[in-house]
Structure 1
């Protein structure tokens, strides 16, 4: 995990610098301390899902931008070669089903533990999303509306 943290931290730092933001200003923009962000950028701390969502939003990239390899990607993603991501203190597991995140569509499989939620607060972003419930049931809130989806149900919405 340390190598993954270092690679992610390097990507965050390089992108932040390329956008002309210093560490202190960027930390303030995402609501974190400069020391925390410094630890993340050096691979010494693993950001929570919410922190990484704030970082990706502030840098205007998809969250998986920080998690993909730089090597050339195939159009096929084999089941045993999926990028899997788990965050500390999170009840979510993400699997990237797309070869990368440089296209207009990303496919992500999310596993949510029973009774867990995806995040503590909504984080709107550009684009569209669809959700398909493969097993169990879930509640999803979009704006002020709350929906209950059961196995086989799907929902589409503007993010």
Structure 2
């Protein structure tokens, strides 16, 4: 994650640390520590900061703030992302995420959804804890077996199965198989 990107986006949005704090519920001191790379924010903190800065967590987690698209037309009608040019990133110290849709950290180009491929090792969780977010999510299991914890329920899913989650529903996934679990996920944007 590029911490200075948060500072750049905050300034581009003409927000002080105090104003960003009011939008996120975090103290200016905490936000300043994040911007300077002294504090590692949780995924929930990243979501609040991203929302306040009119961007996405994925954009903040990328190695740089440019689009992953190899080629796109000027009005954004299409974009091509080659398999060897996908952005790889980590969420909650869990590696294995690859972005398959174009993404920019700034607001110059708006995309309605983002997609990613997640690869989890056996006995690995998708997040450190149950998460909830405003956007809706659809997942397809490309390979492997998982136990999905959705709201107050859990279910076993395997290769070829898919599921859909409305916004704000707490969820988490565990690879319960003996091989890597590969999930294709698409999420709406606010």
**TM-score normalised by the chain length of structure 2:** 0.62
**TM-score normalised by the chain length of structure 1:** 0.72
Q: CA deviation at 1:99?
A: 2.0
The answer to whether the Cα contact below 8 Å between 2:68 and 2:101 also exists between their aligned partners in 1 is: no
Aligned partners of 1:51 and 1:11: how far apart in 2? 15
For residues 94-150 of structure 1, give each alpha carbon's deviation from its aligned partner in whole angstroms, at most 9, with x where no partner exists: 100012263112111111222222221322213x21111122211222222322211
Aligned partners of 1:146 and 1:64: how far apart in 2? 26
Aligned equivalent of 1:139, options 147, 150, 159: 147
Aligned partners of 2:114 and 2:67: how far apart in 1? 18
Aligned partners of 1:61 and 1:32: how far apart in 2? 20
Which secondary structure does the structure 2 equivalent of 1:107 belong to?
strand
Aligned equivalent of 1:12, options 1, 6, 18: 6
Range with greater deviation from structure 2 (135-144 or 65-74): 65-74
C-alpha RMSD of the superposition? 3.1
Aligned equivalent of 1:63, options 57, 65, 86: 57
Aligned equivalent of 1:97, options 76, 80, 100: 100
Structure 2, unaligned stretches of length 5 or more? 72-78, 105-109, 168-190
More strand by share: 2
Which secondary structure does the structure 2 equivalent of 1:15 belong to?
helix
| Residue in 1 that maps onto 2:35 | 41
Q: CA deviation at 1:43?
A: 4.3
Q: CA deviation at 1:93?
A: 1.9
Structure 1, unaligned stretches of length 5 or more? none
Aligned partners of 2:111 and 2:56: how far apart in 1? 10
* Count of matched residue positions in the alignment of Structure 1 and Structure 2: 150
Which secondary structure does the structure 1 equivalent of 2:34 belong to?
helix
More helix by share: 1
| Residue in 2 that maps onto 1:151 | 159
Which secondary structure does the structure 2 equivalent of 1:26 belong to?
helix
